[in-house]
Structure 1
Amino acid sequence: MPLKLLILDRDGVINYDSDAYIKSVEEWQPLPGAIEAIAQLSKAGWTVAIATNQSGIARGYYDVATLDAMHARLRALVAEQGGEVGLIVYCPHGPDAGCACRKPKPGMLQTIANHYGVDLAQCWFVGDSLGDLQAAQAVDSQPVLVKTGKGLQTLAKELPVNTLVFDDLAAVAAELIHK
């Protein structure tokens, strides 16, 4: 049976986002229903991976150890609900670094696909920004917009063709689990 892989953006999809950046474990607060949604997906046989731009590292707002601690908290919360989080990849570069990983470039999605040996055309990528949707489009993944985080502002923009729109991560999980 092929791997069922769902890729998520982090800030604004799983946890509250901030224009001032999420700089500490204390500031990292999950959105209502997001932890439960990841756990439900995991228990239903989905592998949930995360691809997140984290330019706050390049900007000096926090270090990799702090980011790792945020992700350890995420993993622990999901584990408490009986699920698990798969591979987490992040881009530590600033917007002008010219890297291949910062969304809307698809480098992180390709890293996840290589790790799991899957075809990205079979995957959904869930985000709240146009850059997320463009990264999905670049690798023929299904772009999925949630209305949390910056999602409502993104909804007002021209979205990639075939973008699916859901209220939040819990609604995405309900759709995928009951397919």
Structure 2
Amino acid sequence: MTKLVVLDRDGVINEDSPDFIRSVDQWTPITGAIEAITRLSNAGWTVAVATNQSGLARGYFDESALAAMHDKMITLVNDAGGRIAHIAYCPHGPDERCQCRKPLPGLLYQIRDALGIETLAGAWMVGDSLRDLQAGQAAGCRVALVRTGKGRITEGGLDQLNDTASILVADSLANFVDKLLNMDSAQRCFT
């Protein structure tokens, strides 16, 4: 089984904004998210990030601003004792018909290839929007919805997805990690 957790960024790891997160100063982690990533890393899970960043195409920020946001995120995680193995992002706008913008699974395939993983079966895609979960399902991942960011609104539309019974719903990234590590522990007890 692939011990990989792919996280959406805005609304899962950091606070989101309808006006886009445009600078490193606006990038603020959600309470408990950095520690949750660290707990995953320390439990043997590989953590990656898959994020749509259409603010690039819209001219709201440039590549250097995005790099500064990601550097801040990586530094916070590293300083807490965790690790993010890879960040994949889509720089395109919603009308550009690219293959990487979620709900398509292109970012997940980029992560798979960058990490040298054969299959995404058994991996998790964690997000706060339907498109995150749709991308995860299209790539063969298990999916989890967090109620942070847009998650509470998204929860009302889960019936639009396939296999809704298998969707794990958690209050936050920290709560998802609690549930995942408890499942891991329970599985070890039965093997």
| Distance (whole Å) between structure 2 residues aligned to residue 15 and residue 3 of structure 1 | 25
1:25 aligns with 2:24: yes
Q: 1:1-179 alignment to 2 at 5 Å?
A: 4-118=3-117, 119-157=119-157, 158-160=159-161, 161=163, 162-178=166-182, 179=184
| Distance (whole Å) between structure 2 residues aligned to residue 171 and residue 93 of structure 1 | 31
Is the 1:133–1:159 contact (alpha carbons within 8 Å) kept by the matching residues of 2?
Answer: no
Is the 2:23–2:61 contact (alpha carbons within 8 Å) kept by the matching residues of 1?
Answer: yes
Query: What is the DSSP-based 3-state SS (H/G/I as helix, E as strand, rest coil) of the residue aligned with 1:78?
Result: helix
| Distance (whole Å) between structure 1 residues aligned to residue 129 and residue 73 of structure 2 | 21
How many residue pairs align between the two structures?
178
The runs of 4+ residues in structure 1 deviating greater than 6 Å are none
Q: Give ranges in structure 1 of 5+ residues lacking alignment.
A: none
More helix by share: 2
| Distance (whole Å) between structure 2 residues aligned to residue 115 and residue 3 of structure 1 | 14
- Give, as a single letter, the amino acid of the residue that structure 2 aligns with 1:128: D
Which sits farther off after the overlay, 15-24 or 113-122?
113-122
Compared with structure 1, are the counterparts of its residues 143 and 159 closer, same or farther at alpha carbon in structure 2 (3 Å cutoff)? farther
Following superposition, the deviation at residue 44 of structure 1 comes to 1.3
Following superposition, the deviation at residue 159 of structure 1 comes to 4.6
| Distance (whole Å) between structure 2 residues aligned to residue 152 and residue 16 of structure 1 | 14
Q: RMSD across aligned C-alpha pairs, in angstroms?
A: 1.1
Give the alignment's TM-score, normalised by structure 1: 0.96
Query: What is the DSSP-based 3-state SS (H/G/I as helix, E as strand, rest coil) of the residue aligned with 2:98?
Result: coil
Give the alignment's TM-score, normalised by structure 2: 0.90
| Distance (whole Å) between structure 1 residues aligned to residue 143 and residue 44 of structure 2 | 21
CA offsets 1:130-155 (integer angstroms, 9 cap, x no match): 00011011111111100000000000
Query: What is the DSSP-based 3-state SS (H/G/I as helix, E as strand, rest coil) of the residue aligned with 1:10?
Result: coil
| Distance (whole Å) between structure 1 residues aligned to residue 168 and residue 2 of structure 2 | 21
- Give, as a single letter, the amino acid of the residue that structure 1 aligns with 2:178: A
Following superposition, the deviation at residue 18 of structure 1 comes to 0.5
Is the 2:146–2:170 contact (alpha carbons within 8 Å) kept by the matching residues of 1?
Answer: yes
Following superposition, the deviation at residue 3 of structure 1 comes to 5.0
| Distance (whole Å) between structure 2 residues aligned to residue 73 and residue 85 of structure 1 | 12
- Give, as a single letter, the amino acid of the residue that structure 2 aligns with 1:148: T
| Distance (whole Å) between structure 1 residues aligned to residue 52 and residue 13 of structure 2 | 13
Is the 1:39–1:84 contact (alpha carbons within 8 Å) kept by the matching residues of 2?
Answer: yes
Query: What is the DSSP-based 3-state SS (H/G/I as helix, E as strand, rest coil) of the residue aligned with 2:20?
Result: coil
Is the 2:32–2:173 contact (alpha carbons within 8 Å) kept by the matching residues of 1?
Answer: yes
